[in-house]
Amino acid sequence: MAVSLLSRLAASTTVPVFAVTGGGGCPLVSSLRTDPRARLVASPRHAAVLVIAGTLPPRLVGPVQSIHDQMPHPRFTALAGTQEDPTNWGKAVVADSSDPIQSVVDGFRALVAGRHASEPDWLPDSPPAEWRGVGPFGQGGEGMMGGKPFGRPMAEMAPDRDGLMLDALNVGVGPFHPALPPGLELRLELHGDVVADVGLQPNPYLELGKPAEKSYALFEQAQREAVPIARVETLRAAHLLGTIASAVEVAGLESLGRRLRTRAADPSGGDQRGLSRLRRALIAGVRWSARGVVRLPAEELQGSGLGPTARASGVEEDARLDDAGYLRLGFAPITRSSGDCLDRLLQMLDEAEQALELASKAGTGSTSGNVVEGVHGVPGSGSSPALLSLIEEHVPGLEWSDAVSFIASLGVDLQDIALAERRVVE
Amino acid sequence: MNSLVGAFSVLAIASVLALSGRWLGISTDSCRVTNPQSAPFLGGSTPDTHAWSRFHIRYYAVALLFVAFEMEMMFMYPWAVVFVEEGIKALVEMGMFLAILSLGILYAWKEGAFRWQ
ipTM: 0.85
Task: Give the integer Cα–Cα distance in Å for A302 and A317.
Answer: 8
Element (H, E) at A50: strand A49-53
Q: Spell out which residues of chain A touch residue B48, defining contact as CB-CB under 8 Å.
A: 152-153, 170-172, 187
Residue A189 CA, chain-centre distance (Å), reads 22
Q: What is the per-residue pLDDT for A382?
A: 55
Q: Is residue B102 part of a domain?
A: yes
Q: What is the per-residue pLDDT for A383?
A: 60
Q: What is the per-residue pLDDT for A234?
A: 92
Q: What is the per-residue pLDDT for A147?
A: 66
Does the pLDDT of residue A71 top 90, yes or no? yes
Q: What is the per-residue pLDDT for A210?
A: 62
Q: Cβ distance A193 to A169 under 8 Å?
A: no
Inter-chain touch A176–B43, beta carbons under 8 Å:
yes
Q: What is the per-residue pLDDT for A2?
A: 59
Per-residue confidence band for A115, with pLDDT thresholds at 50, 70 and 90: confident
Q: Cβ distance A25 to A79 under 8 Å?
A: no
Per-residue confidence band for A138, with pLDDT thresholds at 50, 70 and 90: low
Inter-chain touch A125–B34, beta carbons under 8 Å:
yes
Q: What are phi and psi of A93, to 5 degrees?
A: -95, 140
- Beta bridge mates, A165: A159
Does the pLDDT of residue B105 top 60, yes or no? yes
Q: What is the per-residue pLDDT for A199?
A: 94
Q: Is residue B52 part of a domain?
A: no
Inter-chain touch A73–B37, beta carbons under 8 Å:
no
Q: What is the per-residue pLDDT for A379?
A: 58
Per-residue confidence band for A139, with pLDDT thresholds at 50, 70 and 90: low
Disruptive mutation site among B38, B48, B107 for chain A (greatest number of A CBs within 10 Å):
B48
Interface of B with A in 56-95 (CB under 8 A): 56-58
Task: Give the integer Cα–Cα distance in Å for A204 and A68.
Answer: 19
Q: Where are the domains of chain A?
A: 2-113, 217-425
- What is the least distance, in Å, from the CA of B27 to any CA of chain A? 16
**pLDDT tens-digit readout, A171-212:** 999 899 999 999 999 999 988 888 989 999 999 998 886 654
Q: What is the per-residue pLDDT for A400?
A: 92
Of B30, B46, B116, the CB nearest to A288: B116
Which listed CATH number (3.40.50.12280, 3.30.70.20, 3.10.290.10, 1.20.58.1880) goes with A2-113?
3.40.50.12280
- The strand pair at A165-173 and A186-191 is best described as antiparallel
Mean pLDDT, range A292-311, rounded to an integer: 90
| A420/A264: higher pLDDT | A264
Inter-chain touch B34–A121, beta carbons under 8 Å:
yes
Q: Cβ distance A415 to A375 under 8 Å?
A: no
Q: What is the per-residue pLDDT for A141?
A: 60
Collapsing DSSP states into helix, strand and coil, what is residue A78?
Answer: strand
| A61/A164: higher pLDDT | A61
Q: Is residue B83 part of a domain?
A: yes
Does the pLDDT of residue A143 top 60, yes or no? no
Q: Which of A341-355, B4-18, B31-45 has the lowest mean pLDDT?
A: B31-45
Domain of B97, in residue numbers:
59-110
Which of A95-99, A381-385, A418-422: highest mean pLDDT? A95-99
Q: Spell out which residues of chain A touch residue B116, defining contact as CB-CB under 8 Å.
A: 288-289
Q: Is residue B51 part of a domain?
A: no
Q: What is the per-residue pLDDT for A186?
A: 96
Which chain B residue shows the shortest CA-CA distance from A153?
B49
Q: Is residue B3 part of a domain?
A: no
Inter-chain touch B37–A169, beta carbons under 8 Å:
no
**pLDDT tens-digit readout, B46-101:** 887 777 777 777 777 788 888 888 888 888 888 998 888 888 999 999 999 999 98
Does the pLDDT of residue A67 top 60, yes or no? yes
Mean pLDDT, range A18-46, rounded to an integer: 91
Tell me the count of A-B CB pairs closer than 8 A.
Answer: 127
Per-residue confidence band for A16, with pLDDT thresholds at 50, 70 and 90: very high
3-state helix, strand, coil in chain B (%, to 5): 70, 0, 30
Q: Which of A55-59, A185-189, B112-116 has the lowest mean pLDDT?
A: B112-116
- What is the least distance, in Å, from the CA of A416 to any CA of chain B? 21
Q: Spell out which residues of chain B touch residue A64, defining contact as CB-CB under 8 Å.
A: 44
For B76, counting Cβ atoms within 10 Å of its Cβ (0-12 exposed, 13-18 middle, 19+ buried), the class is middle
DSSP state of A366: B
Q: Which of A42-46, A312-316, A387-391, B70-74 has the lowest mean pLDDT?
A: B70-74
Q: What is the per-residue pLDDT for A214?
A: 59
Q: Is residue B70 part of a domain?
A: yes
Q: Does B31 touch chain A (CB under 8 A)?
A: yes
Of B42, B47, B56, the CB nearest to A160: B56
Mean pLDDT of chain A: 86
Q: Does B28 touch chain A (CB under 8 A)?
A: no
- Give A189-192 contacts, CB < 8 A, sequence gap 24+: A189/A158, A190/A400, A190/B55, A191/A158, A191/A160, A191/A161, A191/A166, A191/B55, A191/B56, A192/A160, A192/A166, A192/B55, A192/B56, A192/B57, A192/B58
**pLDDT tens-digit readout, A352-399:** 999 999 999 988 888 887 777 877 766 555 567 788 999 999 999 899
* Number of domains observed in the structure of chain B: 1
Q: Which of A238-252, A385-399, B103-117 has the lowest mean pLDDT?
A: B103-117
Q: Is residue B19 part of a domain?
A: no
Which chain A residue shows the shortest CA-CA distance from B115?
A288
Q: Is residue B46 part of a domain?
A: no
3-state helix, strand, coil in chain A (%, to 5): 45, 15, 40
| A355/A156: higher pLDDT | A355
Inter-chain touch B43–A169, beta carbons under 8 Å:
no
